[in-house]
Structure 1
Amino acid sequence: MEKSRLLYVVLFHTVFASFGEIEANLLNYLTVPVRQFFADSLLQRYGIAPYSSQFEFVYSMVASIFFIGAIFGGAIMGPCMEHFGRRATAVYLRSFLGAFSAICMLLSKWLTIIELFAIGHFIAGVIAAWKIAMFIYLAECAPDHSRGWSTSLIGSGSTLALLLMASLCLPSVFGNDQLWWLLPAFALFLSIFHLCFAAHFPESPKHLFCGDRRNKTAENCHERAKLSIKFYHGSAADVFKVMNQFEQEQQLLTSREHFRWSDFWKIPELRHSLCITLLTSWVFAFSLTNLKSQYLESMLMRYGLTQTGAMVSTMAMIAVTAPFCFLSPVLIERWGRRPLFLLVTSFSVAELALITGAQFASDQTASGGNDATAALALIGFTLGQSSANLGILHMTPILIGELIPHAARSATIQVNLLFASPLFIFIVIAYPPLIGTWGALFFMPMALISAVLLFLLYRWMPETKGLSVNTIFRRMAKLGLLNSSSEGSTTSINGDGYDDEETEALILKN
C-alpha cells in the first residue's frame, strides 16, 4: 500500500511538473516560428529589420537570459527551501512561476511584444534551476529503500517530456507560426493543475522534523512529521525508527540551530561529501548536454548531415535511447548509485572523445563534414543521449539527498550551482565564435577534464543504496575520502532497513 501511494505521488509530479521542461526548451524546439515572431515584433515596435545584425543580437540576448534566470534561481533556491519549506518551493512557488512564465509567453504572442517572451524565458530559467528542489523534496519524502527510484523517475520523466515535446513541435503539428502558442498554453494547464492538486500532499517529513522546528513548537512539528511519515512510508511504518533516524541526522553536524558555511571546512566528512557532489556537478557542466540543447541541429549539419537528416537523426537518437528512461529507476536500485553513475559518466566521456574525433576529421577536409564524420558524431551523440536518459542531469541532486545531512543541503546546492553554472554557460556562449577557429581544440579540454572526473569518481564515490544519511555520513567519517570507494559496499543492512551500527545504537538507547 505504501509503495503504491508513493508511486502515485511520484508519477503525479513526474507528469505535471514537466511544464518546466516545455518552457525551458520552447526557444530551441520552436526556432523557426519563434524567430519569425521575434522578427515581426522587432520590426513593428522598433523598426529593426528581420535577420539583421541587430536582430541576431537581440535573439542571442533573449536566448542567454534563460541562463541568467537559472543562476538567479539557483542563488535564491536555498534560502527559499529553508524559509518556506521543500514543498512550498518545489510545488507552490515553482508552479506559480511556471504559470506566470506561460502567461507571459502567451501574451507576447497575442500582443506581439518580444519583451514579454523574454520575461517568460527568464522565469523558465528559474524554474529549470528549481527542479533540484523537487528532487530534494521527494528524496526526503521517500523511505531509504525507495529513495533512488523515486528521484530517478522524476529525471526520466523530464526526458520523456522532451520526447513528447519534440513530436509536437513538428511543423505539421504545433511548430508553425499560427499554433506554436499552444505549447505554452499546455504548460500553463500543467502548472495550474500541479499547483492545485499537489498542495494536498504533505510536506517532507524530514523537513518537518529537522527544519520547521525553528519556527513552530517541537510538539506540533513532531505530530505533523508522524502524519507525513505514515502518508509516504505507509500506515505500517515504524514511526519511532524513522524519527530516530531524523534525530541522528540532525545531530550529525552540530548542536546549533543553524548551519554555518564554515562547517564545510570544519567538518571533514561534510567537506568530503561536498567534493563528491561537486565532481558530479562538473561532469554535467563539462558534458555536451547543455551545448546540444542549443546547437544540436547545427552541430549535426556541421558534420555532414542535411537539415532534414539532422532532424530525422535527432528523433531517431531520442527514440533509440528512450528505453533507458524506464531502465534508470530500476538500475539505480538493482545496481546501486555508484555503478550507474560511473556508467553515465563513462558515456559522457565517450561522447566527448568521439565528437572531438569527428571535429578533428572535419577540420582536415576543405569541405567540412562527410559521411565518416557524420557517423562518428551520431555514435557520440547517441552515447550522450544514453547518458542523459540514464541520469546525468539528476546525479547531483540524488547524491546531495544522500551524502549531505538535512541542515546543509540548501547550502550545498548553492555551492554546486556557484561552481558549475558559470562553466556550462561559458561553454554555450563560447561555442559559436570559437568552434570555427579552434576546431577540435574546443572539445579536447572538455574530454580530458571529464576523463579526470571519471577517475576521481571511481576512486572516491561511495555506494549509498538503501542506507540512511546518518549511516552514510558515519561511514565517510570512518573511511575518509580516499578509501570510501574501496569499502563502499561493506556495510550490511538488516531486515528492518538499518545497518548493524544503527541497530546497536537503538538497542543501547532503549
Structure 2
Amino acid sequence: MEKSRLLYVVLFHTVFASFGEIEANLLNYLTVPVRQFFADSLLLRYGIAPYSSQFEFVYSMVASIFFIGAIFGGAIMGPCMEHFGRRATAVYLRSFLGALSAICMLLSKWLTIIELFAIGHFIAGVIAAWKIAMFIYLAECAPDHSRGWSTSLIGSGSTLALLLMASLCLPSVFGNDQLWWLLPAFALLLSIFHLCFAAHFPESPKHLFCGARRNKTAENCHERAKLSIKFYHGSAADVFKVMNQFEQEQQLLTSREHFKWTDFWKIPELRHSLCITLLTSWVFAFSLTNLKSQYLESMLMRYGLTQTGAMISTMALIAVTAPFCFLSPVLIERWGRRPLFLLVTSFSVAELALITGAQFASDQTASGGNDATAALALIGFTFGQSSANLGILHMTPILIGELIPHAARSATIQVNLLFASPLFIFIVIAYPPLIDTWGALFFMPMALISAVLLFLLYRWMPETKGLSVNTIFRRMAKLGLLNSSSEGSTTSINGDGYEDEETEALILKN
C-alpha cells in the first residue's frame, strides 16, 4: 500500500510537471514556424530582414536566453528551497512560473511580439533549473530503498513527454505557422493542474525535521514530519527509526545550521562529495543535450535531412530509445548508481565521437550533408538519446540527494550550477557562429573532455544504492577516499559510528 501511494505521487509529478519540458523545447521542436514568427515580428517592429545576419544574431540570443534563465534560476533556487521549502519551490513556484512562461509565449504569438517569447523562454530556463528541486523533493520524501527509482521515474517521464511533443510538432499537426501556439497552451493547462492538485501532497519529511531547529515551532514541525513519513513511507513505517536517521544526518554538519561555501573546504568528506557531483554536472554540460534542446532539428537538416525528415527522425530516436525510460528506474536499483551512471557517460562520449565524425565528413564535401553523414549523425544521436533516457540529466540531483547532507544541499546545487552553467551557455551561444568555420573542431574538445570525465568517475564514484546519507558520508571517511587526515575526518563527523551492525558490515565488505 505504501509503495503504491508513493508510486501515485511520483507518477502524478511525472505527468503534470512535464510542462517544463514542453516550454524548454519549443524553440527546438518548432524551429520552422517559430523562426517564421521571429521573422514576421522583427520585420514588422524593427525592419530587420528575414534570415539576415541580424536575424540570426537575434535568434541565437533568444535561444541562449534560456540558459541565462537557467543560471538565474539556479542562483535563487537554493535560498528558495531553504526559506520556502522543497514543496513550495518544486510545486508552487515552479508551476506558477510554468503558467507565466506559457502565457508569455501565447501573447507573443497573438500580438506578434518577439520580446514576449524571449521572456517566456527565459522563464522556461528558470523552470528547467528548478526541475532539480523536484528531484531533491522526491528524494527526501522516498525511503532509502525507493529513492533511486522514484527520482529516475521523474527523469524518464520527461523523455516520454518529449516523445508526445515530437509527434504533435509535425507540420501536419501543430508544427505550422497557424497552430504552434497550441503547445504552450497545453503546457499552461498542465502547470495549472499541477499547481492545484500537487498542493495536497505533504512537504518533505526530512526538510520538516531538519528545518525544525531554526523554526520557532519546532514541535509542530516534528509532528508534521511524522505525518509526512507515514504518508510517503506507509502507515506501517518505523517513524522513530526514520527520524533517528534524519537526526544522524543532521549531526554530520553539527554546529553548521547556516552552511557556508567555505565549509566545503573545511570538511574533506564534503569536499569529495562536491567533486563527484561537479564531475557529473560537467558530463551533462559537455554533452550535446543542451545543444540539441535548441538546435537538434537544424543539426539534422545540416547533415542532410529535410524538415519533415528531421522531425520524423527525432520521433524515431525518442521512440527507439524509449524502453530505456522504463529500464532506468529498474537498473538504478538493480545495478546501482555507479555502473548505470558510467554507462550513461559512456553513451555521451560515444555520441560526441560520432557527431565529430559526421561533422568532419560534412566538412569534406562542398554540398554539406548527405545520406552517409545523416546516418552517422543519427547513430550518434541515438547514443545521446539513450544517455538522456537512462539519466544524464538527473545524475547530479540524485547524487546530491545521496552524497550531501541536508544542510549543504542548497549550497551544493548553487556551486554545481555556477561551475557548469557557463559552459553549456558558451557552447549554445558559440555553436551558430563557429560551426561553419570550425567544423569538427567544435565538437572534438567536448569529446576529449567527456572521455577524461568518464575516467575520473570510474576512479572516484562510490556506490550509494540503498544506503542512507549519513551512512554514505561516513563510508567515505571509513574508506579514506579523500586521503584525508584523521583530524579532518574527526572534525566533520559527529555520532557514534554506523546506524547498525549490518550496514557497517556491508560497508567494510565493499
Pair in the same fold by TM > 0.5: yes
Change in Cα spacing, 1:486 to 1:117, as seen in structure 2 (3 Å) is farther
Deviates more, 1:207-216 or 1:56-65: 56-65
Aligned mates of 2:486, 2:106 — CA distance in 1: 54
8 Å Cα contact 1:342/1:457 also seen in 2: yes
8 Å Cα contact 2:267/2:489 also seen in 1: no
> What do residues 71-93 of structure 1 show as CA deviations (whole Å, max 9, x unaligned)?
10010000000111000000000
- CA drift of 1:491 comes to 23
Aligned residue number for residue 62 of structure 1: 62
Aligned mates of 2:321, 2:473 — CA distance in 1: 35
Output aligned runs, 1:13-412, within 5 Å.
13-412=13-412
- CA drift of 1:496 comes to 19
Aligned mates of 2:119, 2:305 — CA distance in 1: 35
TM-score by length of 1: 0.93
- CA drift of 1:406 comes to 0.2
- CA drift of 1:8 comes to 0.3
Change in Cα spacing, 1:438 to 1:109, as seen in structure 2 (3 Å) is closer
- CA drift of 1:334 comes to 0.8
8 Å Cα contact 1:213/1:221 also seen in 2: no
- CA drift of 1:107 comes to 1.7
- CA drift of 1:482 comes to 5.9
Change in Cα spacing, 1:423 to 1:257, as seen in structure 2 (3 Å) is same
In the alignment of these two chains, the number of paired residues is 510
Aligned mates of 1:482, 1:398 — CA distance in 2: 21
Deviates more, 1:374-383 or 1:69-78: 374-383
Deviates more, 1:39-48 or 1:265-274: 39-48
Aligned mates of 2:509, 2:53 — CA distance in 1: 72
> What do residues 424-475 of structure 1 show as CA deviations (whole Å, max 9, x unaligned)?
1111111222222222222111111111111111111111010000000000
Aligned mates of 2:46, 2:426 — CA distance in 1: 30
Q: Which has the higher contact order (CA 8 A, sep 6+)?
A: 2
Aligned mates of 2:176, 2:460 — CA distance in 1: 49
Aligned mates of 2:481, 2:498 — CA distance in 1: 23
Change in Cα spacing, 1:438 to 1:221, as seen in structure 2 (3 Å) is same
Change in Cα spacing, 1:236 to 1:278, as seen in structure 2 (3 Å) is same
Change in Cα spacing, 1:444 to 1:195, as seen in structure 2 (3 Å) is same
Aligned mates of 1:227, 1:411 — CA distance in 2: 28
Aligned mates of 1:144, 1:487 — CA distance in 2: 30
Aligned-residue identity in percent:
98
> What do residues 250-298 of structure 1 show as CA deviations (whole Å, max 9, x unaligned)?
0102223211221100000000000000000000011111111222223
- CA drift of 1:352 comes to 1.1
Aligned mates of 1:492, 1:271 — CA distance in 2: 11
- CA drift of 1:59 comes to 2.4
Give ranges in structure 1 of 5+ residues lacking alignment: none
Question: What is the DSSP-based 3-state SS (H/G/I as helix, E as strand, rest coil) of the residue aligned with 1:250?
Answer: helix
8 Å Cα contact 1:277/1:400 also seen in 2: yes
- CA drift of 1:61 comes to 2.2
TM-score by length of 2: 0.93
> What do residues 327-381 of structure 1 show as CA deviations (whole Å, max 9, x unaligned)?
1111111111011000000111111111222222333334433333332222111
Give yes or no for the alignment of 1:460 onto 2:460: yes
Question: What is the DSSP-based 3-state SS (H/G/I as helix, E as strand, rest coil) of the residue aligned with 2:271?
Answer: helix
- CA drift of 1:174 comes to 1.3
Aligned mates of 1:506, 1:387 — CA distance in 2: 30
Change in Cα spacing, 1:508 to 1:118, as seen in structure 2 (3 Å) is closer
Aligned mates of 2:338, 2:487 — CA distance in 1: 12
Aligned mates of 1:495, 1:215 — CA distance in 2: 23
8 Å Cα contact 1:252/1:470 also seen in 2: yes
Aligned mates of 2:443, 2:230 — CA distance in 1: 50
Aligned mates of 1:400, 1:215 — CA distance in 2: 24
Deviates more, 1:190-199 or 1:251-260: 251-260
- CA drift of 1:215 comes to 2.3
8 Å Cα contact 2:212/2:222 also seen in 1: no
> What do residues 51-110 of structure 1 show as CA deviations (whole Å, max 9, x unaligned)?
333333332222221111111001000000011100000000000111111111112222
Aligned mates of 2:504, 2:7 — CA distance in 1: 32
Aligned mates of 1:506, 1:82 — CA distance in 2: 33
Change in Cα spacing, 1:116 to 1:508, as seen in structure 2 (3 Å) is closer
- CA drift of 1:507 comes to 18
Change in Cα spacing, 1:170 to 1:301, as seen in structure 2 (3 Å) is closer
8 Å Cα contact 2:141/2:205 also seen in 1: yes
Change in Cα spacing, 1:360 to 1:177, as seen in structure 2 (3 Å) is closer
Deviates more, 1:327-336 or 1:42-51: 42-51
Aligned mates of 1:168, 1:495 — CA distance in 2: 55
- CA drift of 1:484 comes to 13
Change in Cα spacing, 1:267 to 1:446, as seen in structure 2 (3 Å) is same
Change in Cα spacing, 1:503 to 1:39, as seen in structure 2 (3 Å) is closer
Aligned residue number for residue 435 of structure 1: 435
Deviates more, 1:57-66 or 1:240-249: 57-66
Change in Cα spacing, 1:105 to 1:72, as seen in structure 2 (3 Å) is same
Change in Cα spacing, 1:385 to 1:507, as seen in structure 2 (3 Å) is closer
Aligned mates of 2:376, 2:48 — CA distance in 1: 41
Give ranges in structure 2 of 5+ residues lacking alignment: none
Change in Cα spacing, 1:262 to 1:256, as seen in structure 2 (3 Å) is same
Aligned mates of 1:9, 1:50 — CA distance in 2: 47
Aligned mates of 2:151, 2:84 — CA distance in 1: 21
